[in-house]
Every structure is written in C-alpha cells, then in structure tokens.
C-alpha cells in the first residue's frame, strides 16, 4: 500500500508525534511507583485491554469482510469484442493514472482528460467520421446523464457524512469558517514564534514532516480516484457510443420476454412444457452428416424427439425445447440447469462449399447463445469441422458488434474406438491420469479427444467432451455435456442479452418515431389550417374587393 519512502516518512512522523506521550508515560509510571499504585493500575489496564479485544473480535465476526472494498468497474459479460477493445483503451488510460503518470492539478485538467477520453472512445466506434463525438442521439445522451447523476447522488449519499442534512449554504459557511481559521492560525503562529521561538521551531518542524507525509498519501489517493473516474466515465462513454443505451429498461425486459416466448413456442416439445422458463438459451448443434447430432439432441431431451436414422434424416433445421429437470430430481446437483434450452438440430455439412453457402446455418449461428460441434470417431475427415470452426471465428470477427457464443466440442462414437467390442463404462481419460494405468479403451478416448482439440484448433476455454450417443449405450451426456453447458450458462446469457438488445433497438427507433409523429401531428395540422385560412381568406378577400370595385 505504501512505498518505502512513504513508510519511512510515516514512521518518522509517528515517532515525533509520540515523543510528548512517551515523556508523559515515563513521568506517570514514576509517580505510580512512588505512590505504590503500580499493582492496581496494572490490573485495571489488563481488564480494559481484555474487554477491548473481546469487543473487537465480536465486531469483526459480525462485519462483512469486504464492506470496505469499492466494486471496481469492470467489463460486462454482454459486451462484444468491439466494446471490449474500447474498454482496453479505457483501461490503459486508467493504468497510467494509477501509476501517477497523468498530471492533474486543477479541475480543468480532469476535464481535459475526460474530453480526450471521450474523443478516443467516439473515434473507436466511428473511425471515419470527422466529428465522431457528435454521432449520438440526444435521447441517449440525456439517458446517460440520468444514470450518471443517479450514481453520483448515491455515491455522495453513502460516502459523505451529513450530505443529506447540510444545505449548499451550510457548505458555503463551512468554507468561510475554514478560511477564517486558516488566517487566524497564521497570526497565532507568528505571535507565538515571537513569544517562544524554541517551541514554535519544534512545532513548525512537526508541521513540515506531517504535511510531507500526508501529501504523499493524498497524491496516491488522488491517482486512485482519478483511475476510478476514468473507468466509470469510460464505461458510460462506451455504452453511449456503441448504442447500448436502453431508454426504457422496463419496456426492454417486456420485449425480451416476448422474443423468448416466441422462440420457445416455435420449438417442438412435449405437452406440459409450454410455460416459458424465466431463463433460457439457444444451443445450435452443428457437425458433419451422421456425426450423431440428432442422437445428442435425443439424449439431452431424454426422449425420442429428434428424428434419428441411419440415413441423414434431418434435412431441415429443427428446434426442440428442453425444460430443466424437476427441482427434486436426484441428479440435480450434477446436471441441473438454471433454465430451459432450445436445441437447434441442423442437417449437417460434408464439404467446405456447403459450409460457406448454407445461409440458414449462419442465420442460426447468428442467433445462437452457445454452439455445440459434434465430431464422430467414425468419420476420419476432420477438415470440414476445422473449416467450420475457422469460419465461425471469422464470422464474429467480421461482426464485432456481436458476441461470439461459447463453443463446445462433443466427441461422439467413443464406443467404436479400439478395442471396438469393449464397452465397459465409466471411463477415465483425463490428462492428469496420463501416468496412471489407463486401459486401452481409455487411452483411445484420450487420444481421440486430443486429436479433436488439435484438429479443430480449440482454445483452452473450449472443452472437448467424449460421449456415446447411441441410444443403447448413452454415456457422459448428462455428466459431461450438461455440466459444460451449465458452466457456460452465464456467458451464454451475456451473448443473448447483446443479441436481444440489438433486436430491441431497431423496433424502438420506429416506435419512437411513430409516437413523436402522433404528438406533433395535431400541432402541425392546427398551424396548417390557420395558415391556409388566413391565406385563403386574404386572397379571397382581395379578389372580392377587386370584383366589387369593377
Ligand atoms: N455406435 C454409435 N452409434 C451412434 C452414436 N451416436 C449416434 N449413433 C448412430 O448413428 C446414426 C446417425 O446418427 P444421427 O444422430 O442421426 O446423426 P446426425 O446426422 O448427425 O444427426 C444413428 O443410427 C445413431 O443411432 C454413437 O455414439 N455410437
Ligand atoms: Mg440429424
């Protein structure tokens, strides 16, 4: 917390401040000893100290541990890469502030700095506009002001004692008192210096050391506060320039529920699960023909809903809904999901061209909250899958306003791995068990998973899960796949929020235009009628007058 220099300065300050007290203690102890009170004094001191420690430990147990920590503004989950890159720029500036590299002495300096931040963020979102910072609707600016003002009020209310009692006039008066006190104190110092120079010298020395120490700490606090302000303002600027401002949060929540309800109702499911779960995510399942995609959907649904066949049965995209397991299910702790799933079963691809050309596939990917790619151990060619994964990443790189959904690889047909006729689950293929005695089957599974990871160029946060989706040999679907889905649930919700926000902003523009037209139309028509009547009456009058004169 302190630099070495600061620590030394503080130590010296404390020592100087302590000298008079130490002196008093020595004199006091001597007096106690002379009067024979040392024993009684010792007992009283011990009792008070013990009571103090009991009270402190009781209080510490009760007080929440992180009560003093201010929450650091961080990058929200539902920001896509474009917003994340802008956030990195804000972070860089905040880091400079923390390191004390930004010179800020006056309020004007902060203003300049924040203006610079605004231009940086605006140019990030509108790189080819000359006056990028003007590219925001007035309503959005007002909404952001509303949010910032509210936050400021809450901060002041919780952190400044008496802020809800003292009036502005009181603050003004306090300031006048402070100025008065300072001038009086200067006079006092001069007068006492004349009266008792040694005492005054000692006091001035104390003052100097204390002010040096305090100054250093104040500087550090200033840097930290500045970094905080930069992060907070940066956050709101990104919301503003990326077009993420929600004018009416309640309306957004209502529309969001409406969209999800539509999606849920459009998916197939058994009777009884029509009621829409509070949370639900869309998982798009892709992979080559006969990789086991429909079988995976079946296994997840636990019933024969998707059409499984030896022939590529699904030549259409199908949506299935899956409600979370019963709350009192025995497997709840392992595979329970926080909400419902819409599983999107796709027909499957065989070639690069098919991947590139399939518009419906990419439309589904664009609406996905999570993507599962199924790779079969019985299909040696992994090139189409690799092409898909590359194209998938490229798709979101080209659309930086969308969040890339989390990707899960499912390695199917592990029952067909060598030794082929052995099927004796459970299997343990985890890497930490490399040195252990893995059975030949387990080694095959481990190699297959590794191979898929490499071929698909998966990142460390993208799991590859071996499963068997054959209806007679179901294995690791609930424990493996559902657990992986649950672990990425929160991220998927972020993807969904970003997607629905973009969907919401478009109709909102038209809705507002309609409402504005409705408001302004009566005024326009009234002005129009007035104008017409005065002109017409004027003209008619003139004509009539002329006619009359003739
Ligand atoms: N042996 C074995 N057969 C499977 C497995 N998964 C699916 N199958 C079978 O493979 C065939 C094709 O599966 P399907 O799910 O329709 O593949 P899709 O084209 O990717 O949807 C079906 O007959 C399934 O029963 C598996 O893990 N092991
Ligand atoms: Mg299928």
pLDDT digits (tens, 9 = 90+) for 388-421: 999 999 999 999 888 999 999 999 999 998 888 8
* Closest by Cα among 7, 29, 401 to 238: 401
Ligand 2 centroid from CA 348, angstroms: 7
Task: Give yes or no for residue 415 CB within 6 A of ligand 1.
Answer: yes
Both structure tokens of 22: 């130490």
**What pLDDT does 1 receive?**
58
User: 466: helix, coil or strand?
Assistant: strand
Ligand 2 centroid from CA 327, angstroms: 30
CATH 3.40.50.300 fits 269-432+439-498, yes or no: yes
* Closest by Cα among 343, 344, 342, 325 to 334: 325
* End-to-end Cα separation, the chain, in angstroms: 101
The DSSP output letter for 468 is B
**What pLDDT does 271 receive?**
60
Both structure tokens of 271: 């009777």
- Minimum-distance ligand 1 atom for the alpha carbon of 468: 27
Ligand 2 centroid from CA 308, angstroms: 6
**What pLDDT does 65 receive?**
47
Tell me which of 292, 421, 425, 444 to substitute to probe ligand 1's pocket, judged by most ligand atoms within 8 Å of the beta carbon.
292
C-alpha pair distances (Å), 26 with each of 20, 21, 23, 31, 32: 10, 9, 5, 9, 10
How many beta carbons lie within 10 A of that of residue 401, not counting itself? 15
| More confidently predicted of 209 and 331 | 209
pLDDT of 512 > 60? The answer is yes
Please compute the mean of the pLDDT values over residues 270-290 and round it to a whole number: 85
Ligand 1 centroid from CA 292, angstroms: 4
Percentage, residues of the chain above pLDDT 90: 29
Ligand 1 centroid from CA 345, angstroms: 13
**What pLDDT does 86 receive?**
93
Please compute the mean of the pLDDT values over residues 523-530 and round it to a whole number: 82
Ligand 2 centroid from CA 313, angstroms: 6
Ligand 1 atom 14: residue of nearest CA: 292
Q: Tell me the ligand closest to 315's alpha carbon.
A: 2
d(CA 421, CA 415): 8
Task: Give yes or no for residue 412 CB within 6 A of ligand 1.
Answer: yes
d(CA 277, CA 273): 9
Task: Give yes or no for residue 295 CB within 6 A of ligand 1.
Answer: yes
Q: Name the strands in the sheet holding 464-466, side by side, starting at the edge strand that comes first in the sequence.
A: 318-322, 340-345, 280-287, 370-376, 407-412, 464-466
Cis peptide before 426 (omega within 30 of 0): yes
> What's the whole-model pTM score?
0.71
Ligand 1 atom 8: residue of nearest CA: 470
Provide the strand spans (E) within 184-317: 280-287
Given pLDDT bands bounded at 50, 70 and 90, which one contains residue 67? Answer: very low
Cis peptide before 81 (omega within 30 of 0): no
H-helix or E-strand spanning residue 319: strand 318-322
Domain ranges of the chain: 4-62, 81-241, 269-432+439-498
Ligand 2 centroid from CA 310, angstroms: 9
Residue pair 110/229 in contact (Cβ under 8 Å)? The answer is yes
CA angle 327, 332, 466 (to 5 degrees): 140
- Minimum-distance ligand 1 atom for the alpha carbon of 289: 19
pLDDT tens digit string along 1-29?
567 888 888 898 898 888 888 988 899 88
Burial class (CB in 10 A: 0-12, 13-18, 19+), 333: exposed
**What pLDDT does 510 receive?**
75
Gyration radius (Cα) of the chain, Å: 36
**What pLDDT does 484 receive?**
94
User: 284: helix, coil or strand?
Assistant: strand
Tell me what the pLDDT averaged over the chain comes to. 85
Ligand 2 centroid from CA 376, angstroms: 13
Tell me which of 385, 415, 452, 469 to substitute to probe ligand 1's pocket, judged by most ligand atoms within 8 Å of the beta carbon.
469
Ligand 1 atom 24: residue of nearest CA: 470
Q: How many residues does the chain have?
A: 550
Q: What is the DSSP string of 332-376?
A: HHHH--SSEEEEEE---B-SHHHHHH-HHHHHHHHT-SEEEEEEE
pLDDT of 369 > 80? The answer is yes
Task: Give yes or no for residue 470 CB within 6 A of ligand 1.
Answer: yes
Please compute the mean of the pLDDT values over residues 72-101 and round it to a whole number: 87
Please compute the mean of the pLDDT values over residues 160-175 and round it to a whole number: 85
User: Quick one: angle between helices 197-241 and 138-159, nearest 10?
Assistant: 150
Ligand 1 centroid from CA 429, angstroms: 22
pLDDT of 314 > 90? The answer is no
Ligand 1 atom 9: residue of nearest CA: 470
Q: Tell me the ligand closest to 347's alpha carbon.
A: 2
Both structure tokens of 107: 């309020």
Task: Give yes or no for residue 413 CB within 6 A of ligand 1.
Answer: yes
Tell me which of 287, 288, 290, 295 to substitute to probe ligand 1's pocket, judged by most ligand atoms within 8 Å of the beta carbon.
295
Please compute the mean of the pLDDT values over residues 135-149 and round it to a whole number: 85
Owner of token pair 């889905």: 485
Q: What is the largest CA-CA distance in the chain?
A: 134
Task: Give yes or no for residue 289 CB within 6 A of ligand 1.
Answer: yes
pLDDT of 456 > 90? The answer is yes
Please compute the mean of the pLDDT values over residues 511-537 and round it to a whole number: 81
- Minimum-distance ligand 1 atom for the alpha carbon of 412: 27
Task: Give yes or no for residue 308 CB within 6 A of ligand 1.
Answer: yes
Given pLDDT bands bounded at 50, 70 and 90, which one contains residue 164? Answer: confident
Ligand 2 centroid from CA 214, angstroms: 71
d(CA 103, CA 414): 62
**What pLDDT does 62 receive?**
66
Given pLDDT bands bounded at 50, 70 and 90, which one contains residue 189? Answer: confident
Lowest mean pLDDT among 126-130, 177-181, 505-509: 505-509
Lowest mean pLDDT among 276-280, 332-336, 403-407: 332-336
d(CA 430, CA 446): 7
């Amino acid at each position: 917390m302190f630099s070495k220099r600061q620590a030394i300065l503080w130590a010296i300050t404390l020592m100087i401040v302590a000298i008079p007290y130490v002196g008093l203690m020595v004199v006091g102890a001597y007096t106690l000893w002379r009067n024979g009170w040392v024993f009684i004094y010792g007992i009283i001191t011990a009792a008070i100290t013990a009571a103090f420690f009991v009270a402190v430990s009781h209080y510490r147990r009760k007080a929440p541990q992180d009560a003093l920590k201010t929450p650091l503004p961080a990058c929200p989950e539902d920001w896509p890469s474009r917003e994340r890159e802008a956030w990195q720029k804000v972070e860089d500036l905040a880091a400079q502030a923390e390191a004390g590299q930004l010179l800020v002495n006056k309020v004007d300096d902060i203003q300049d700095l924040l203006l610079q931040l605004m231009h940086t963020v605006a140019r990030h979102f509108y790189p080819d506009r000359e006056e990028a910072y003007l590219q925001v609707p007035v309503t959005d600016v007002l909404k952001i002001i509303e949010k910032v003002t509210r936050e400021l009020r809450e901060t002041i209310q919780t952190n400044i004692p008496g802020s809800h009692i003292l009036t502005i006039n009181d603050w003004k008066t306090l300031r006048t008192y402070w100025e008065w006190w300072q001038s009086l104190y200067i006079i006092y110092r001069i007068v006492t210096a004349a009266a008792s120079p040694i005492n005054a010298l000692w006091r001035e020395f104390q003052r100097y050391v204390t002010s040096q120490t305090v100054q250093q700490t104040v500087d550090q606090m200033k840097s930290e506060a500045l970094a905080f302000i930069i992060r907070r303002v940066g956050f709101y600027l990104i919301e503003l320039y990326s077009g993420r401002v929600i004018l009416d949060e309640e309306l957004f929540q209502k529309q969001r529920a409406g969209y999800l309800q539509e999606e849920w109702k459009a998916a197939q499911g058994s009777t009884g699960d029509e009621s829409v779960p509070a949370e639900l995510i869309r998982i798009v399942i892709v992979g080559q023909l006969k990789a086991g995609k429909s079988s995976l959907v079946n296994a997840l649904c636990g019933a024969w809903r998707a059409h499984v066949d030896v022939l590529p049965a699904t030549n259409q995209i199908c949506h299935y809904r899956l409600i979370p397991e019963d709350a009192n299910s025995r497997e709840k702790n392992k595979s329970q999901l926080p909400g419902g799933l819409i599983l999107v079963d796709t027909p499957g691809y065989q070639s690069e061209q098919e991947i590139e050309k399939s518009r419906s596939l990419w439309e589904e990917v664009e609406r996905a909250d999570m993507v599962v790619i199924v790779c079969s151990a019985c299909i040696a060619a992994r090139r189409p899958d690799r092409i898909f994964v590359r194209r998938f990443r490229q798709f979101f790189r080209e659309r930086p306003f969308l969040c890339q959904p989390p990707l899960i690889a499912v390695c199917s047909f592990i029952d067909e791995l060598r030794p082929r006729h052995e099927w004796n689950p459970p299997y343990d293929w985890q890497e930490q068990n490399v040195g252990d005695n893995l059975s030949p089957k387990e080694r095959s599974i481990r190699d297959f998973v590794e191979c898929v990871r490499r071929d698909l160029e998966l990142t460390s946060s993208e799991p590859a899960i071996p499963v068997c989706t054959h209806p007679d040999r179901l294995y690791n679907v609930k424990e493996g796949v559902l657990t992986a889905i649950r672990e990425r649930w929160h991220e998927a919700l972020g993807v969904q929020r970003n997607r629905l926000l973009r969907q919401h902003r478009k109709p909102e523009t038209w809705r507002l235009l309609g409402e504005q037209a409705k408001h302004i139309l009566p005024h326009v028509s009234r002005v129009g009628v007035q104008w017409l009547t005065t002109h017409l009456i004027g003209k008619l009058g003139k004509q009539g007058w002329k006619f009359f004169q003739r």
